[in-house]
């Protein structure tokens, strides 16, 4: 049965280009998207478009991680991060812009930014189909598509007003290509103090590598110049289910079993949230 194109995807069609021939636009065709050379991309019943075809995603969050992330973000524990991001975005662009969220996960941050920009539309990209099911429902103006950040983006040149990258892998050259000259890249990443209480108590949890920050600067420097940074740091109380979800949604989940966490008070009842959010201007 033909699927109707989700309204948010209609809103973002002008941003897209065919990921295979990379030159042609995509047009709706019987519930799918198609370029004039005939390359066709299915729109899932759950509302996201599958642009990443012919490959198997090698990374991306699985169903358990996405469910944990959805539940944890719904507690509001990261709301101050979302607010900082929305402030930086609103300071950077007009209300009617295009916002692209790379590694969008469940679309939590994209939705927060779109709330702040009443005339804007958004597109979330992620390899995780499970995450995109949530992202496609996250906001009335947010579309969602499967994509691998390490491949040339399925986006035309200079179409985005804001590119978001929140705790997600990065592709500086592609960020630069798809941004308008007056656009902004906004990157959120953890500092060394982020969730320190969790990392010191839970065996096998991944630490924040101190070399990451200089590495980020080196990678972005040829393409971007930092214009504003917000440091977001606060303590947050954690009920046990939220603490379990916080472990379950991070890459640590791949190394820690639920049994490891036991009932013996290993999980902290309070953690420090500590991130940096930086807005960059294209060079
Ligand atoms: C730590 S999560 C952050 C998700 C979201 N930005 C948030 O903060 O809630 C990292 C996200 O990047 C996605 N991801 C991992 N590798 C990717 C890749 N190569 N291309 C696109 N997305 C990727 C994962 O599926 C996951 O949704
Ligand atoms: Zn094509």
Q: How confident is the model at residue 12 (pLDDT cuts 50, 70, 90)?
A: very high
Domains held by the chain: number:
1
Instruction: Answer yes or no: is the C-beta of 252 below 6 A from any ligand 1 atom.
Output: no
**Looking at residue 6, what DSSP letter applies?**
P
Return the structure tokens found at 100: 């692209």
Domain of 195 in residue numbering reads as 54-282
pLDDT at residue number 2: 54
Mean of per-residue pLDDT scores for the chain: 92
Report which secondary-structure segment, H or E, holds 187.
Answer: strand 179-190
pLDDT for residue 57 is more than 60: no
* 34 belongs to a structural domain: no
* 2 belongs to a structural domain: no
Q: Express each pLDDT in 79-107 by its tens digit.
A: 999 999 999 999 877 767 999 999 999 99
* 15 belongs to a structural domain: no
CATH number for position 162: 3.40.50.150
pLDDT for residue 199 is more than 80: yes
* 154 belongs to a structural domain: yes
Closest CA to 33 of 141, 124, 144: 144
Contacts of residue 281, defined as CB under 8 A and 6 or more positions apart, other chains included, come to 184, 224, 225, 227
Average pLDDT over residues 180-208: 88
Average pLDDT over residues 140-156: 97
* 29 belongs to a structural domain: no
Average pLDDT over residues 199-218: 84
Quote the pTM value.
Answer: 0.95
Q: Ligand 1 atom closest to Cα of 66? A: 27
* 12 belongs to a structural domain: no
Q: 88 φ, ψ to 5°?
A: -60, -40
Probe residue for ligand 1, chosen from 113, 123, 126 as the CB with the greatest number of ligand atoms within 8 Å: 126
Q: Order across the sheet with 40-42: list the strands.
A: 27-29, 32-34, 40-42
* 8 belongs to a structural domain: no
Q: How confident is the model at residue 200 (pLDDT cuts 50, 70, 90)?
A: confident
Angle 192-193-197 (CA atoms, 0-180°, nearest 5)? 125
Question: 25 CA to middle of ligand 2, Å?
Answer: 8
Q: Which ligand is located closest to the Cα atom of residue 109? A: 1
pLDDT at residue number 60: 81
């Amino acid at each position: 049965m033909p699927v109707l194109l989700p309204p948010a995807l209609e809103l973002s069609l002008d941003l897209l280009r065919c990921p295979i021939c990379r030159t042609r636009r995509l047009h709706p065709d019987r519930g799918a998207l198609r370029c004039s050379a005939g390359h066709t991309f299915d729109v899932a019943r759950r509302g996201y478009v599958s642009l990443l075809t012919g490959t198997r995603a090698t990374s991306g969050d699985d169903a358990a991680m996405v469910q944990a992330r959805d539940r944890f973000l719904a507690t509001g524990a990261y709301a101050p991060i979302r607010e900082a991001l929305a402030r930086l975005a609103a300071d950077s662009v007009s209300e009617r812009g295009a916002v692209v969220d790379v590694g969008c996960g469940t679309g939590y941050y994209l939705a927060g930014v779109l709330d702040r920009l009443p005339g804007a539309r958004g597109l979330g990209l992620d390899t995780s189909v499970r995450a995109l099911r949530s992202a496609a429902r996250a906001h009335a103006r947010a579309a969602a598509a499967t994509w691998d950040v390490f491949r040339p983006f399925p986006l035309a040149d200079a179409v985005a007003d804001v590119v978001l990258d929140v705790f997600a892998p990065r592709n500086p050259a592609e960020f630069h290509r798809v941004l308008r000259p007056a656009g902004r890249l906004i990157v959120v990443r953890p500092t060394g103090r982020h969730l320190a209480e969790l990392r010191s108590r839970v065996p096998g949890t991944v630490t924040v590598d101190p070399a990451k920050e200089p590495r980020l600067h080196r990678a972005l420097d040829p393409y971007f110049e930092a214009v504003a940074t917000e440091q977001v740091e606060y303590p947050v109380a954690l009920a046990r289910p939220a603490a379990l979800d916080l472990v379950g949604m991070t890459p640590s989940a791949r190394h820690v079993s639920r049994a490891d966490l036991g009932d013996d008070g290993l999980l902290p009842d309070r953690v420090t949230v500590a991130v940096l959010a930086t807005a960059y201007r294209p060079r």
